[in-house]
Amino acid sequence: MSWFQQVFIANFAATFFLAGLIWMVQVVHYPLFNDVGKENYIRYHQRHQNNISLIVGPVMLIELATAILLIWAIDERIDRTLVYVGLGLVLLIWLSTALIQVPCHEKLARGFDPVAYRWLVNSNWIRTIAWTARGWIVVAMLFGLLTKVETQMVSQ
């Protein structure tokens, strides 16, 4: 297996893991924040932040690193535009996380705040849509790879 294929597979896997996870967080987990109650909220939120960071952090780093590496490892079978748009979406996700969601979580860590909660849930659609789009982009890259492999096999 080539270096490019290894990088692509890692990127594909990280993106799909994160896309699935963000939908679960957006549709299931974040709505539960509103139902925890004042007594348990700070502990609940702290456990959420600690546990989700252990899962999301390493995979986000893998996705970012492999999205960057794909630029240098580009295979002629993949449209460069897809690689650059994919990296742009990763950067959008990181910016949204750092500038919007993390500050919301910092505020919520001190106690439930309905305004910060609504902003967190509404702004998280940025990441949900971006990761969903990344999923479609890596699928398009995969189809590009498979189509060209199939074409090469037929022409031989």
- pLDDT tens digits for range 113-140: 999 999 999 999 999 999 999 999 999 9
What pTM did the predictor assign? 0.90
What does the block give as tokens for 148?
A: 């060209």
Q: Domain limits of the chain?
A: 3-155
Averaged confidence pLDDT in the chain: 93
- Burial label for 74, CB within 10 Å (0-12, 13-18, 19+), is middle
Task: Please give the Cα distance from 83 to 80 (Å, whole number).
Answer: 5
pLDDT at 26: 97
The CATH code of domain 3-155 reads 1.20.120
Residue 149 pLDDT > 60: no
Q: Which amino acid is at 11?
A: N
Positive or negative, the Cα torsion across 12, 24, 97, 105? negative
Share of the chain above pLDDT 90, in %: 81
Residue 58 pLDDT > 70: yes
